[in-house]
Amino acid sequence: MITLKVNGKTLETDAAPDTPLLWVLRDHLGLTGTKFGCGKSLCGACTVHVDGSATRSCVTEVSNVVGKDIRTIEGLSSDRSHPVQKAWLELDVPQCGYCQSGQIMAASALLAQNPSPSDADIDSAMAGNICRCGTYPRIRAAIHRAAELMKTGGAS
Amino acid sequence: MSAHPKDTAPAALDRREFLKASALAGGGLVIGISLAGCGKPADLAKAAGGQPVAWLKIGGDNSITILVDKSEMGQGVYTALPMLIAEELDVPLAAVKVVAAPAGAAYANIFLGTQITGGSTSVREGWQKLRAAGAQARAMLLGAAADEWKVDVGSLKTDAGVVTGPNGQKRTFGELAEAAAKRPLPKDAKPKDASAYKLVGKATPRVDTPSKLDGSAEFGIDVKLPGMKYAALAQSPVLGGKLKSVDSAAAEKLPGVVKVVTTSTGVAVVADHYWQAHVARDALKLSWDEGPNAKLDSAAIRAGLKAAKGTAQSARKDGDAAKALKAAKKKVEASYELPLLAHATMEPMNCTAVVTADRCELYVPTQIQQIAQATAAAAAGLKPEQVSVTTTLLGGGFGRRLEVDFIPAAVEAAKAVGAPVKLIWTREDDMTHDAYRPPAHDSGSAGFDASGALQAVHIQLTSPSVTARMFPPVVEKAVDPFAVEAAANFLYDVPNVSVDYLRHEIGINVGYWRSVSHSLNCFVVESFMDECAHAAGKDPFEFRRALLGKQPRAKRVLEEAAARAGWGKAPAGHHQGIAVMEGYGTYLAQVAEISVEQGKLKVHRIFCAVDCGQRVNPLIVDQQLTGGMVFGLSAALWGEITLAGGKVQQKNFDEYRVVRMNQMPELGVHVLDSSEAPGGIGEPAVALVAPAIANAWFAATGKRVRALPFSASGIA
């Protein structure tokens, strides 16, 4: 058995140690908010936080994250109150929505490290997250908006 | 696909006994729509699976439910379609609950003949049937109140689901629903006049947004059923190949593997968890009969299209273009090539199935429910009415989910193991086994007279036909309407116009891809018109404008795009290109602004002016326009699927590049206010991006790009 710390809870899984974290989250732990897009760290749909850093769970073996703090979209807040979620709602960012868990996790990791990102910072942090619906202009605007919300006490 | 309201079924709606009303068990009102043309009014009471066929249910508990028969794939149907009902009923959007409709003939798309989310038809179709259903329901509810209070219907008011009488009497819709259901259908219930709109035309937040922010939105890949197993599928690497033999001994010994099932479309490995199935799939020893495509490659496909001979079908003939071309004082001729494209939805293909002796349940992200149902039935050895189809959210559609190729293996595997099975394709499976956007080899010829007037245009289109495979009766006696879009409706006022289409199959399946043949033909027609403008020594905008005198909506969007994008006023070193089209009843023009950076194309901005008639939800219209431009930009810059030895060479997003955040140009959109009936908006903006950029590249360099993607010319 592997013991994991996910969204603040201690969870056990019988997944093989080389199973990608993505599939442990989705199949073994039922956390399907984290999405499968490419399996090769090319699209960002599977992005989660590992010790606060944006991490592609599709290429991260579960044995490598034992003892680390894993956070998924389900654990970003309990009530969609994270400033990134609030900004995403305000700007109606998602279309099909499939990539948005990954976008939100990448954006929230960026803002945790850089509370006032420039457009270039956003380009650099978000270039790994593909959106086929083309929501990029709203993602950019929503990251700036989330940065404002964090400064004005919108943080939960 | 394009479907023009003026050409197809909606005109016949008035003649049909269209709406039906009935009582809901437990005391409520159901408004259903019966396509009397199908001759099955009994469908209203019972559909496959015993579910009532309905669009709108008003319950005794004041609940209002709309069964949306279009798939939510990001284009906003779960918001825009309920808005039409909420508007007619005078209730807030939040009061209308959305449920995905089951599969059934009664839910057939009235433009397209079967249950389809495609052709940018959802709002255009809902505009007719959902407003009618809402108006009928409202009239019946008011009629019930008027009877109870013995007052004139005209003295009643509705607001937020409550009917108020002249003396202040009040009844909720729920209280009136049972009595309303007993009334005859009113013959004269008309949808609201535009002047009375409270919701339609207002930017309204999407109802699906909250669930897409916390991981709770359920896509097909997220379906969970008790006892569910997972499957990975090994398919022939050569397209069209067949399984010769499989040795599954090693795979079957791996942890979690439940069974290896040879299905009609490949070998499915079923396991307790997905990753176990995925790993075990790699342990299969497979041998394939590669079939007729074993030596197929892209060069052969291109050469075949270029050399294709046969009888072309006429898609448009005004005057005598051949004669006028012979008489021309000056001619312009050019050929264009377009590649195969993958859809690359973010959510790879997947399907979950449960099969018992007499039932099959399908949980599937699909754009084509009835065909999914029939496909599952055939795979399960059941009748279609024994198959229920639950449409999940779709992680992108773009036409890919009009295909049902991923369904049989899921059904056959579920039947073989006697448990629910979720089959998931990898990204590589998805990219190498798509039904690709058709490639094309097209050409244009134009002739000017001695005065410099454009007298003749001939467009010759050569490509394989999607429709011939998917809907063969459509092309039995007519040119494939979904191969000649944006060409057959050539907008410019030229006395002699001919558009011919030569169907040339290439050995692999091609599929409908967002904007369908507009994505091919807009590039051809709008590049060619640009070539004509330059040959005539005219400004490309002025040249087009002068030829659009009989197309006021096209002319207006062209002028708006030019004015708002600052046509002719690009900053130093920047260059502009323009293109215009009509598609899906919507008129658009785009201006692209580019520069040349060390020999490479850099796109700075794209501006789009649009007349899509009455907007239902302007917020979603803007999303579809900007999103469509990004989709078109990916294809224009890099989109190309190539084959070698019958195998697709692009496997993932490193080899099939799409636009990312850091590659985004500035996008601008301006939508004109209009009271015309709504046009389609999900697709058309895709198609103008490539020609607008190609025309800008010519303005910058004097070089004409006649083949897509731009990367194939070494400039992107």
List, for residues A19-44, the tens digit of each pLDDT value.
999 999 999 999 999 999 999 999 99
Q: Give dist(CA B314, CA B479) in Å, integer.
A: 7
Non-local (6+) Cβ contacts of A94 within 8 A are A88, A100, A133, A135, B74, B206, B208, B209, B212, B213
Q: Give dist(CA B685, CA B631) in Å, integer.
A: 9
Which among A47, A46, A9 is positioned nearest to A29, based on CA atoms?
A: A9
Reduce the DSSP state of residue B500 to 3 states and report it: strand
> Which residue of A19, A77, A100 is in closest CB contact with B212?
A100
Residue B46: the pLDDT is 39
In chain B, the residue whose alpha carbon lies closest to the alpha carbon of A75 is: B214
pLDDT tens string B280-329: 999 999 999 999 999 999 999 999 999 999 999 999 999 999 999 999 99
pLDDT tens string B422-458: 999 999 999 999 999 999 999 999 999 999 999 999 9
Residue B1: the pLDDT is 52
| Length of chain A measured in residues | 156
Beta carbons of B76 and B69 less than 8 angstroms apart:
no
pLDDT of B397 > 50? The answer is yes
**Record: contact A37-B629, CB cut-off 8 A:** no
Q: Give dist(CA B611, CA B553) in Å, integer.
A: 7
Section B187-193 average pLDDT: 89
Q: Give dist(CA A101, CA B297) in Å, integer.
A: 38
The stretches of B37-166 forming alpha helices (DSSP H) are: 77-89, 122-149
B205 neighbourhood in chain A, CB within 8 Å: 89, 92
pLDDT tens string B57-94: 999 999 999 999 999 999 999 999 999 999 999 999 99
Section B153-181 average pLDDT: 95
DSSP A82: S
Q: Give dist(CA B407, CA B387) in Å, integer.
A: 12
Burial B216-231 (b: 16+ CB within 10 A, else e): ebbbbbbbeeeebbbb
* Residue B12 to chain A, least CA–CA distance (Å): 33
DSSP B492: S
Residue B189: the pLDDT is 87
* Residue B230 to chain A, least CA–CA distance (Å): 9
Instruction: State both tokens at B347.
Output: 């959510």
Q: What is the largest CA-CA distance in chain B?
A: 82
Burial B687-707 (b: 16+ CB within 10 A, else e): bbbbbbbbbbbbbbeeebbbb
DSSP B58-74: E-TTS-EEEEE-S--SS
Q: B11: pLDDT confidence band, cut at 50, 70 and 90?
A: very low
Query: What is the arrangement of strands in the sheet containing B229-234, beginning at the earlier edge strand?
Result: B257-263, B266-271, B229-234, B421-424, B350-355, B360-364, B387-391
B209 neighbourhood in chain A, CB within 8 Å: 88-89, 92-94
Beta carbons of B358 and B212 less than 8 angstroms apart:
no
Residue B39: the pLDDT is 33
pLDDT of B19 > 90? The answer is no
B676 CB burial (10 A radius; 0-12, 13-18, 19+): middle
Which of A132, A138, A140, A145 is the best substitution to test chain B (most B C-beta atoms within 10 A)?
A132
> Which residue of B209, B215, B659 is in closest CB contact with A32?
B215
Q: Give dist(CA B61, CA B178) in Å, integer.
A: 11
- The letter for the amino acid at B107 is Y
A88 neighbourhood in chain B, CB within 8 Å: 209, 213
Assign 3-class secondary structure to chain A.
CEEEEECCEEEEECCCCCCEHHHHHHHHCCCCCCCCCCCCCCCCCCEEEECCEEEEHHHCEHHHHCCCEEECHHHCCCCCCCHHHHHHHHCCCCCCCCCHHHHHHHHHHHHHHCCCCCHHHHHHHHCCCCCCCCCHHHHHHHHHHHHHHHHCCCCC
Q: B468: pLDDT confidence band, cut at 50, 70 and 90?
A: very high
Beta carbons of B716 and B637 less than 8 angstroms apart:
yes
Which among B171, B222, B424, B446 is positioned nearest to B333, based on CA atoms?
A: B446
Which of B212, B219, B282 is the best substitution to test chain A (most A C-beta atoms within 10 A)?
B212
**Record: contact B664-A137, CB cut-off 8 A:** yes
Q: B29: pLDDT confidence band, cut at 50, 70 and 90?
A: confident
* Domain B220-291+349-424 CATH class label: alpha beta
- Domain extents in chain B: 5-204, 220-291+349-424, 298-340+436-713
B348 neighbourhood in chain A, CB within 8 Å: 36-37
- The letter for the amino acid at B640 is E
Beta carbons of B640 and B436 less than 8 angstroms apart:
no
**Record: contact B273-A28, CB cut-off 8 A:** yes
Section B539-543 average pLDDT: 98
**Record: contact B274-A26, CB cut-off 8 A:** yes
Instruction: State both tokens at B297.
Output: 């490659």
Rounded to the nearest integer, the mean pLDDT of chain B is: 93
A121 neighbourhood in chain B, CB within 8 Å: none
> Which residue of B208, B652, B661 is in closest CB contact with A127?
B661
Reduce the DSSP state of residue B517 to 3 states and report it: coil
CA distances from B139 to B44, B189, B199, B625 (A): 20, 6, 19, 36
Q: B646: pLDDT confidence band, cut at 50, 70 and 90?
A: very high
Beta carbons of B438 and B463 less than 8 angstroms apart:
yes
CA distances from B667 to A87, A138, B624, B690 (A): 21, 11, 12, 14
Residue B518: the pLDDT is 98
Q: Give dist(CA B595, CA B223) in Å, integer.
A: 47
**Record: contact A130-B273, CB cut-off 8 A:** no
Section A93-102 average pLDDT: 98
Interface A:B, Cβ pairs < 8 A: 179
Q: Give dist(CA B686, CA B584) in Å, integer.
A: 12
CA distances from B143 to B22, B151, B162 (A): 15, 10, 13
In this prediction the pTM is: 0.95
Give the percent of chain B with pLDDT over 90. Answer: 89
Section B524-542 average pLDDT: 98
Residue B22: the pLDDT is 75
Instruction: State both tokens at B335.
Output: 């050929």
Q: Which of B108-117, B133-142, B185-194, B347-356 has the highest mean pLDDT?
A: B347-356
- The letter for the amino acid at B591 is V
DSSP B616: S
B5-204 and B220-291+349-424: identical CATH topology = yes
pLDDT tens string B198-238: 999 999 999 999 999 999 999 999 999 999 999 999 999 99
pLDDT tens string B580-603: 999 999 999 999 999 999 999 999
Beta carbons of B322 and B458 less than 8 angstroms apart:
yes
Among A88-92, B45-49, B266-270, the least confident range: B45-49
Q: What are phi and psi of B387, to 5 degrees?
A: -110, 125
* Residue A48 to chain B, least CA–CA distance (Å): 12
pLDDT of B43 > 60? The answer is no
Section B530-546 average pLDDT: 98
pLDDT of B2 > 90? The answer is no
Residue B33: the pLDDT is 58
Section B250-277 average pLDDT: 98
pLDDT of B712 > 90? The answer is yes
Query: What is the crossing angle of helices B77-89 and B122-149, to 10°?
Result: 30
**Record: contact B274-A23, CB cut-off 8 A:** yes
Beta carbons of B510 and B494 less than 8 angstroms apart:
no
A45 neighbourhood in chain B, CB within 8 Å: 346
Q: B358: pLDDT confidence band, cut at 50, 70 and 90?
A: very high
Residue B53: the pLDDT is 56
Q: Give dist(CA B597, CA B655) in Å, integer.
A: 23
- Asked if CATH classification 3.30.1360.20 holds for the domain at B5-204, the reply, yes or no, is no
| B159 CB neighbour count, 10 Å cutoff | 11
**Record: contact A140-B274, CB cut-off 8 A:** no
User: Look-up: residue for tokens 């990448």?
Assistant: A106
CA angle B33, B122, B93 (to 5 degrees): 80
Section B490-504 average pLDDT: 98
Residue B26: the pLDDT is 65
Q: Please name the fold of domain B298-340+436-713.
A: Aldehyde Oxidoreductase; domain 4 (3.30.365)
